[in-house]
Every structure is written in structure tokens, then in C-alpha cells.
């Protein structure tokens, strides 16, 4: 009898104590860290053409083309109005997610100088063109909903927002020959 009473007391304590410590049904769950987060997907990187380029020229016998000027290079990201409203925060968070510091725009002045060989070609014209390293991505703003039936992040925007050619803050440039029909 004493054994049965001990077993029943032990069983009752394991069932009753958790019930006493349980949160009320209307209690909100705590967010895992931040109330608002940004989720990034479809990340890619490319070199995007800048405003620094030589004039077009046709090279009937081949030769070299040189660009040498002091000019301000400019690159700007293409963003939706939704992203534009929160651009500073989004680019800061994107930089962490992408592993490269990006922003909405970059401009700097330098004495640019570059030379490239051009093949003999009468059907095409050529020019030297500076390209800058940029990032492309889609972003979604999510807000934590602590309601007991949800207790998760939910989308704030209706769809992911696309950001294209967000320039790297570092001077990561390449020079290329552009080619077009003469």
C-alpha cells in the first residue's frame, strides 16, 4: 500500500507541476531576437557598365584604343519604391548576407587610364568601357507575430522586392571592350 501511495504521489507530481507552470492560453510567445528581419534570396553578382567609356571607333587594320581622363565614375542600384523607403537598413543587412559591402550608389573621381588591343574589323566598332562589381538580390521584410496560434515571422510586403546592380563600396572595376555593329 505504501508503495502504491508513493507511485501515485510521484505520478501526480509529474502531471500537476507542469500544468501549474504552463503559460496561459492567451500568452504571447517571445521573439527569437528581432521583431523585424529581412530575408535575402536569388543573390548574384555581376560587373555592371559605368559612365566611364571611350568614344566608339572602327579599326580597319586593328590597333589599340586608350582611355585617359579624370572623371567621376557613377553606379546606382535599381530599387523598387518599397525598398527605397528603407534603403539604408536593407543595404546594411544585405552587406552582411552577401559578404560584400553594397549601397544604393557609388561615385568617385579618378584619373582613369587604360589601353586595350583591338582586332582588325570593319563590320564592328569598339570602345573601352569600365564596369563595376555589383550585387543583385531579392528581399522580403518579415515581422514577428507573437500570437499563440502563430508565433512566427510573417511577410510584411506582398512579394519579394528585387534590387539590381547594387554597387560594391570597394573599387572593384574591370575594363572591357564593347563591340557593336558599325
pLDDT exceeds 80 at position 136: yes
Verdict on whether the full-model pTM lies above 0.85 = no
Output 58 or 32, whichever has higher pLDDT.
58
From first CA to last CA, the distance across the chain in angstroms is 105
pLDDT of residue 31: 72
Query: Angle at the Cα of 119 (from 117 to 120), degrees rounded to 5?
Result: 135
pLDDT mean over 93-97: 95
pLDDT of residue 158: 96
pLDDT of residue 149: 84
Q: What percent of the chain has pLDDT over 90?
A: 76
Given pLDDT bands bounded at 50, 70 and 90, which one contains residue 146?
confident
C-alpha dihedral (85, 91, 92, 93), degrees to nearest 10: 90
pLDDT of residue 23: 47
Amino acid at each position: 500500500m505504501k508503495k502504491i501511495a508513493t507511485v501515485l504521489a510521484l505520478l501526480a507530481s509529474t502531471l500537476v507541476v507542469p500544468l501549474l507552470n504552463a503559460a496561459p492560453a492567451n500568452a504571447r510567445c517571445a521573439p527569437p531576437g528581432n521583431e523585424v528581419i529581412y530575408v535575402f534570396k536569388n543573390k548574384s553578382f555581376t560587373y555592371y557598365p559605368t559612365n566611364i567609356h571611350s568614344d566608339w571607333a572602327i579599326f580597319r587594320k586593328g590597333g589599340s584604343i586608350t582611355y585617359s581622363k579624370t572623371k567621376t565614375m557613377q553606379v546606382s542600384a535599381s530599387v523598387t519604391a518599397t525598398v527605397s523607403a528603407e534603403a539604408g537598413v536593407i543595404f546594411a543587412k544585405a552587406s552582411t548576407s552577401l559578404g560584400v559591402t553594397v549601397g544604393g550608389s557609388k561615385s568617385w573621381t579618378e584619373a582613369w587610364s587604360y589601353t586595350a588591343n583591338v582586332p582588325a574589323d570593319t563590320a564592328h566598332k569598339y570602345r573601352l568601357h569600365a564596369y563595376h562589381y555589383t550585387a543583385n538580390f531579392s528581399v522580403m521584410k518579415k515581422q514577428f507575430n507573437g500570437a499563440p496560434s502563430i508565433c512566427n515571422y510573417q511577410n510584411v510586403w506582398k512579394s519579394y522586392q528585387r534590387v539590381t546592380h547594387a554597387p560594391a563600396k570597394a573599387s572593384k572595376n574591370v575594363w572591357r571592350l564593347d563591340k557593336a555593329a558599325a
